[in-house]
Amino acid sequence: MKLSRILAACVVVAALGVPHYLVRMDGYRGFTEPVFVDIPKGTSSLRIGEKLAEAGVLRHAFLFPLARLTKPAAKPQAGEYRFEKTATPAEVFARIARGDVYLVELRIPEGSDVFDIAEKVEAAGLGPAEEFVRVAREKEGTLFPSTYAFRRGTTHEEICRAMQSQFNRVWAELKGPAPQKKKVVTLASIVEAEAVLDEERARIAGVYLNRLAKGMRLECDPTVEYAAKLDGRWKGVIYKADLASGNAYNTYRHEGLPPGPVANPGRDSLQAALHPEETDALYFVAKGDQSGGHVFSKDYTAHQKAVAAYRRGQRNGQHDAGAPARKK
C-alpha cells in the first residue's frame, strides 16, 4: 500500500513536472536566420503552435496551447512576429499575448520630399521607391515628417494615410484655414527647405510674401531642385540649365508660388507660414560663419554685399564649399 502511494506521487510529480519543464525550461531555436510568423486574427492556439513549429520557433506544435494553459486569461494577439533568439514556449507565448508584433521604423526628417521619403520606404523594405512616388506625388506637403512604425506588407496608400492623418492633426492644432491650405503649405515647404535656425523661419516667410506682393520672382533654389527631380535630371547640384528650365516649379522663370509644395514641412515651418514676420527685407543669403543663419537685406545693393561676404567666407574655408550662395 505504501509503495503504491509512492508510485502515485511519482506519477503526479512527473505529470506536473514534465509540462513545467517543456513550457518554462525547454529553450529552442530551430532556425539559423531570423524568421517571421504571421498570425491572422482568429487563429486557434493549435494552429499558432503549428505555424511556430514549422518556422522552428517551437520544438512541437502542442507546446503553444500547453503554454497558454498556464495563463488562461491571456489571449494571443494577431500580427506578424519576428523571432531571432532561443526561447522557451512560455516566452514565445508571452510575446504573442503582449502583441509584441514586428514593426518597421520609418523616420522622416522635416523637409523631406516624396522622392526622399520613397528612398526611405524602399530602404525599410516597404516597397519600391518608384511606386511610392507614383502613389504619393499628389500628396506632397501633407506627408507629415515624423517617426512611424509600420508592419511589413503595409501598402504605400496606408503609409500615406498615416502621414496625412498626422498632418491633419497638426493643421487642426495650428488652426490652419482650409481655404488657404495649399498656399500656406507651399510657402511652409519653401521655408522648411531654406531655414536652418528656428528663429528665422517666420522672417523667411515674410521675405517671400514681400516678394510676392511686389510681383518679384521668388528665385528660390529648392523649387529649382524640385523641378529637376520632377524632370528626372537632378544631379545633386544646381546647374545653369536648371535655372533656365521651363518647369512650372522653377521660380527663377515663373512668378508667384510654385504649383504646389516642394517638400513636407514640420510644425514650426507651418506655424511660420501661418504667422509670418513683418519685415522690410526682400533678400537673404547664408552667413559665412557656419551658424546656419542668414543676412537679410531690404535692397539689392546691400544684398550683393552680403553675397560677396558669403563668398569670401567660402574661399577662406569658413563655410561648407558645397552650399550654394542663394540669391532671393
Residues 127 and 78 in one domain: no
**Looking at residue 63, which CATH number applies to its domain?**
3.30.1490.480
Q: Which residue range(s) make up the domain with 116?
A: 103-166
How far is residue 253's CA from residue 275's CA, in Å, rounded to a whole number?
27
Residues 34 and 57 in one domain: yes
**Which of 98, 132, 156 is at the close of a domain?**
98
Extended strands (E) in 108-177: 147-150
Residue 175 in domain: no
Residues 76 and 128 in one domain: no
8 A C-beta contact, residue 118 and residue 140: no
**Looking at residue 160, which CATH number applies to its domain?**
3.30.1490
8 A C-beta contact, residue 272 and residue 188: yes
How far is residue 126's CA from residue 132's CA, in Å, rounded to a whole number?
9
Question: CA distances (Å), 108 to each of 120, 186, 193, 263, in order?
Answer: 8, 18, 14, 11
Question: CA distances (Å), 300 to each of 64, 109, 296, in order?
Answer: 75, 34, 10
Residue 141 in domain: yes
Taking CA 242 as the corner, what is the angle to CA 287 and CA 233, rounded to the nearest 5 degrees?
A: 115
Residue 284 in domain: no
Give pLDDT tens digits along the chain (328 positions): 554 544 443 344 344 455 666 888 889 999 999 999 999 999 999 999 999 999 999 999 999 999 999 888 999 999 999 999 999 999 999 999 999 999 999 999 999 999 999 999 999 999 999 999 999 999 999 999 999 999 999 999 999 999 999 999 999 999 999 999 999 999 999 999 999 999 999 999 999 999 999 999 999 999 999 999 999 999 999 999 999 999 999 999 999 999 999 999 999 999 999 999 999 999 999 987 778 899 999 999 999 999 988 888 777 765 443 333 443 4
Q: What is the pLDDT of residue 314?
A: 74
Q: What is the pLDDT of residue 10?
A: 38
Residues 117 and 84 in one domain: no
Residues 81 and 148 in one domain: no
Q: What is the pLDDT of residue 24?
A: 84
What pTM did the predictor assign? Answer: 0.83
- Total of domains in the chain: 2
Residues 59 and 90 in one domain: yes
8 A C-beta contact, residue 150 and residue 158: yes
Cell numbers for 222? 529648392
Residues 116 and 143 in one domain: yes
